A and B are shown apart, each in its own frame.
Chain A
Amino acid sequence: MQSQDFHKLLEQRRTFFCYSGLLSEDVLSTFSGIVREQMSEMEDDTEITKRVFGIFVEQAQNVIRYSKDRIAAGGTGTVAISRAEDGFLIEAINPMDQEHAEGLQQNLKELKAMDSKELRKAYKQRLREGPPEGSKGAGLGFIEMARKADHFEFDFVGSAELLFVFKVWIKEP
């Protein structure tokens, strides 16, 4: 692909923020201001802006903590925010171990089947019980995203190098 085609591709899919490479907490700190600025320029509804920003932070921290490709301060992956037909799309892609993927897939299937009441219950239960084994945070990130999202999709792609793809849509009212 030509460099200009890459640029055009991002424009075509209306991706206004995209970062690929090493994600660390330092990088996230730097991008937080930029993402907020871009969002507030585009969107007057502060509630939408906050939800998009919240999803972006959870997505970025998942890459930092759980990407299979590790560098001392974080992990590698891609995070992107795009304009969607009726709102915004926040995406994250990172390499993942097969072993880790199986548990996560099950977990996400369960979250996808829950309504908002059940998600709230799962959230409170996780708060009370504390993080599950292997979690580097509170184990709440996906539940939180599922609660904030209007819609989410996930995929595990490839075999030699397995990529985890997580997509969250926030709709404008």
Chain B
Amino acid sequence: MQLEATNRTPSVSISATGIEMKGECYPEDITAFAEPVMEALRQQLESAENFHVRIELYYFNSSSAKFLFDFFEELEEAAEHGKQVQIDWCYRADDSSMQEAGEDFEEDFDNAQYQLVEI
């Protein structure tokens, strides 16, 4: 699955080995954006053994926070079931809001490897 970035949605690339999401996330319709992404994620996770996730967001709104939470929950569940899941939350060195947002999610992971990466 390959989604081009728009003004209000990030680019999303989902393959058998992982996901990359990059850009801004405050979609006009969060459900219309999130559902196909979640569906593709579930499909890929079924057969994957190693899954690498790279998130590089510059801004997301509160509706998208819920999407990210559900997205991460799916990944944590996969890790709980024995899959190797690595998540990199990337933020720019001067971007303390995205650093803090990354820290907000940190405590939700026990099984997936989650790390904050300064870029």
A residues bordering B, Cβ < 8 Å? Answer: 25-26, 28-29, 32-33, 46-47, 50-51, 53-54, 57-58, 61, 120, 123-124, 127-128, 130-131, 137-138, 140-141, 143-144, 148
Contacts and interface: CB of A to CB of B under 8 A. Distances in A.
Contacts of A50: 59, 95, 97
Contacts of B97: 47, 50-51, 54, 148
Contacts of B7: 29, 32-33
Interface residues of B, number: 19
Contacts of A140: 62-63, 65-66
A130 B69 CA distance: 10
Given A46-B94, A58-B62, 16 more contacts: A28-B28, A47-B97, A50-B59, A50-B95, A54-B59, A54-B61, A61-B61, A124-B104, A130-B66, A131-B66, A138-B63, A138-B65, A140-B65, A141-B63, A144-B62, A148-B97
Contacts of A128: 69
Interface in B1-59: 7-8, 26, 28-30, 59
B59 A123 contact: no
Contacts of B66: 127, 130-131, 137-138, 140
Interface of B: 7-8, 26, 28-30, 59, 61-63, 65-66, 69, 94-97, 104, 107
Contacts, number: 59
A61 B63 CA distance: 10
Contact of B28 (A29, A54, A144): A29
A51 B8 CA distance: 17
- Residue in A32, A130, A138 whose Cβ sees the most chain B Cβ within 10 Å: A138
Contacts of A130: 66
B104 A32 contact: no
